[in-house]
């Protein structure tokens, strides 16, 4: 532990400088205009892995953005940890709400502000630096493989293909991911589940062109109004989702499981104050912790129709569109939920409009085991670094690839995240505490140490 702290202290500024370089790349995978930047990011990650001591580093081409692979095999007889992360980021919109530009990282109040600071550049880069530390201090206790992708924010479709095709190269005993949150530095926690995702887009068409709202208003269905009515009908009075069959496969938690989850520290007033809302909203009969961690949801991620510029335009629009996503819990299936949504949405469309539903991407929900050697190693590492036993929590976000690792590689995942829920992931002013960044670099070598030791003892 002492040599870990010393190495971090000796390289503090350089670690941060390198992360800042990484954060300056606008690696937005969703928007084709950033293509060259996303590719440059992959090259930067590969270079840094090599510098840190990884071998066989390769920027592996895919049908989309490349996957950066690297490894250090010190002894084939020792266990192997596969570290997964992603170098792509969410779009920075709405730009005008950023206090400082999203791709010009700065530190304010001990926090790094930049798109990707927490999700996931700041977090996967802790692994690169922890790896360097173990190499430089001669303390790497097991084999390690890195797989850092560039399409996590758009559904990881090509990673799925890559994993299926590269089973030998990716062979490992456990997957280790830092792309989730902990409660706080005072309340360290480990996520033991992730929600799945079905993301789609709907288009409602009324008249075949935009119309004058005076000449035609009142006689022709307005697709914006109809889409509003259709969206409004997707939740009932208890804020439950009305799509027939939607809850059929939902794994209801036992009373004991619910009790355990609700032991996590949660202050409703602080939660509301942080978000600037007077009241919370959610499915009746569940707590906030349950709603975000164990219940499926349906959200409008975007909606647009008609004239949205300055001033006024008296138009009756031809089309109305929405991006809608559903978070899924075990044992819902992304593809099945898409079909249920599509069938329902087409059914509720009134005769005066046409609807088109297009899938974007999806991912399956996962629950990670809490009785595995890897999870125990993570618990011990966090406890030693933070001085407190971590609380198990359920994460509301999705990392679509986790369930695929299990299916394709037959291995489980440990989610050892160091972000905070309040880090503005996917929002303006995304941030990551500098303290959490260093604490992560400190915890990761301990994970490897305990994992190797427990595997040996097993």
Residues annotated catalytic, as ranges = 88, 152
Q: Which is nearer to a second copy, 46 or 402 (CB)?
A: 402
Using the minimum distance from each CB to a second copy, give the nearer residue, 271 or 455. 271
Q: Which is nearer to a second copy, 11 or 157 (CB)?
A: 157
Query: Which residues 169-208 are close enough to bind a second copy by CB under 8 A?
Result: 181, 195, 197, 199, 206-208
Cα–Cα nearest to 275, from 422, 394, 114, 420:
422
* Contact flag: residue 211 with a second copy (CB under 8 A): yes
Identified binder of a second copy from the candidate list 225, 333, 343, 372, rule CB under 8 A: 225
CA distance 37 to 28: 8
What sign has the CA pseudo-torsion 306, 307, 308, 312?
A: negative
How many Å is the Cα radius of gyration of the chain?
Answer: 23
Question: Cα(first)–Cα(last) distance of the chain, in Å?
Answer: 23
Closest CA to 421 of 411, 431, 413: 431
Site for a second copy in 309-338 (CB under 8 A): 309-317, 320-323, 325, 327
Token readout for 119 is 């999700």
Q: Which of 9, 96, 255, 351 binds a second copy (CB under 8 A)?
A: 351
Write down the least CB distance from residue 201 to a second copy, Å.
8
Q: How far apart are CA 202 and CA 322, in angstroms?
A: 5
| Smallest distance, a second copy to C-beta of residue 372, A | 24
Residue pair 197/326 in contact by the 8 Å Cβ criterion? yes
Minimum CB distance to a second copy smaller for 80 or for 393: 393
Angle at CA of residue 334, ends 331 and 338, nearest 5°: 130
**Which residue, 163, 146, 152, 81, is CA-closest to 398?**
152
Interface residue with a second copy, options 16, 30, 60, 78 (CB under 8 A): 30
Integer angstrom CA distances of residue 127 from 36, 148, 310: 25, 11, 47
**Size of the residue set binding a second copy (CB under 8 A):** 101
**CA 31 – CA 414 distance, rounded (Å):** 30
Nearer to a second copy, 90 or 443 (CB): 90
Contact 343, 200 (CB under 8 A): no
| Residue bearing tokens 């070598």 | 445
Rounded Cα distance, 199 and 338, in Å: 8
Residues 35-64 contacting a second copy, CB under 8 A: none
Name the residue nearer to a second copy (CB basis): 257 or 283.
283
Smallest distance, Å, CB 391 to a second copy?
A: 17
Footprint on residues 226-245 left by a second copy (CB under 8 A): 227-229, 231-235
Stretch that binds a second copy, among 3-11, 368-376, 393-401, 436-444 (CB under 8 A): 393-401
Piece in contact with a second copy (CB under 8 A), picked from 107-115, 257-265, 284-292, 408-416: 284-292
Closest to a second copy by CB, 393 vs 443, is 393
DSSP string, 388-428: SPPEEE--SS--THHHHIIIII---EEE---EETTS-TTST
Minimum CB distance to a second copy, residue 448 (Å): 28
In degrees rounded to 5, what are phi and psi of residue 268? Answer: -60, -40
Among 158, 292, 393, 413, binds a second copy (CB under 8 A): 292
Stretch that binds a second copy, among 15-23, 70-78, 93-101, 372-380 (CB under 8 A): 93-101
- Applying CB under 8 A, among 79, 365, 392, 396 the residue interacting with a second copy is 396
Question: How far apart are the C-alpha atoms of 9 and 19, rounded to whole Å?
Answer: 16
State the binding string over 415-444 for a second copy (x if CB under 8 A, else -).
Answer: ------x--xxxxxx---------------
Query: Contact region for a second copy (CB under 8 A) — 7-15, 71-79, 152-160, 431-439?
Result: 152-160
Q: Binding mask 96-135 vs a second copy (x if CB under 8 A, - otherwise)?
A: -x---------------------x----------------
Strand order in the sheet with 106-108: 106-108, 111-113, 431-433
Question: In terms of Cα–Cα distance, which of 368, 439, 430 is closest to 176?
Answer: 368
Binding to a second copy (CB under 8 A): which residues in 239-278? 275-278
Q: Residue 235 or residue 258: which is nearer to a second copy going by CB?
A: 235
């Amino acid at each position: 532990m002492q040599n870990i702290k010393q190495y971090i202290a000796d390289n503090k500024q350089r670690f941060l400088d390198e992360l800042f370089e990484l954060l300056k790349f606008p690696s937005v995978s969703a928007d084709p205009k950033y293509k060259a930047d996303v590719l440059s990011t992959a090259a930067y990650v590969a270079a840094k892995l090599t510098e840190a001591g990884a071998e066989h580093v390769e920027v592996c081409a895919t049908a989309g953005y490349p996957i950066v692979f690297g490894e250090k095999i010190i002894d084939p007889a020792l266990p192997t940890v596969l570290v997964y992360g992603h170098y792509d980021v969410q779009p920075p919109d709405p730009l005008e709400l950023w206090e400082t530009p999203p791709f010009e990282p700065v530190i304010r109040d001990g926090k790094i502000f930049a798109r990707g600071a927490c999700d996931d550049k700041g977090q996967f880069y802790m692994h690169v630096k922890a790896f360097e530390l173990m190499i430089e201090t001669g303390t790497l206790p097991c084999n390690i493989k890195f797989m850092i992708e560039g399409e996590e924010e758009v559904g990881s479709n090509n990673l799925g293909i890559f994993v299926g095709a590269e089973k030998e190269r990716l062979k490992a005993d456990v997957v280790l991911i830092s792309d989730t949150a902990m409660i706080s530095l005072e309340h360290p926690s480990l996520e033991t589940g992730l929600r799945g995702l079905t993301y789609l887009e709907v288009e409602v068409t009324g008249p075949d062109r935009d119309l004058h709202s005076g000449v035609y208003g009142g006689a022709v269905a307005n697709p914006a109004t109809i889409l509003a009515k259709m969206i409004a009908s997707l939740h009932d009075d208890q804020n439950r989702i009305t799509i027939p069959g939607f809850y059929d496969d939902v794994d209801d938690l036992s009373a004991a499981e619910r009790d355990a989850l609700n032991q996590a520290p949660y202050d409703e007033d602080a939660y509301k104050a942080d978000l600037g809302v007077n009241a919370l909203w959610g499915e009746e009969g569940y707590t906030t912790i349950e709603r975000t961690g164990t219940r499926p949801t349906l959200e409008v991620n975007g909606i647009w129709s008609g004239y949205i510029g300055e001033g006024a335009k008296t138009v009756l629009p031809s089309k109305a569109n929405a991006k809608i996503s559903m978070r899924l819990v075990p044992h819902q299936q992304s593809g099945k939920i898409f079909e249920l949504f599509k069938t329902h949405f087409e059914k509720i469309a009134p005769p005066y409009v046409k609807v088109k539903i297009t899938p974007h991407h999806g991912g399956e929900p996962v629950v990670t085991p809490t009785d595995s050697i890897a999870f125990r190693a993570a618990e011990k590492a966090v406890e030693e670094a933070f001085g407190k036993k971590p609380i198990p929590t359920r994460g509301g976000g999705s990392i679509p690839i986790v369930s695929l690792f299990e299916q394709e590689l037959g291995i489980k995942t440990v989610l050892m995240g160091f972000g905070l829920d309040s880090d503005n992931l996917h929002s303006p002013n995304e941030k990551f505490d500098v303290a959490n960044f260093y604490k992560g670099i400190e915890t990761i070598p301990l994970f490897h140490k305990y994992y190797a030791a427990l595997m040996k003892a097993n």
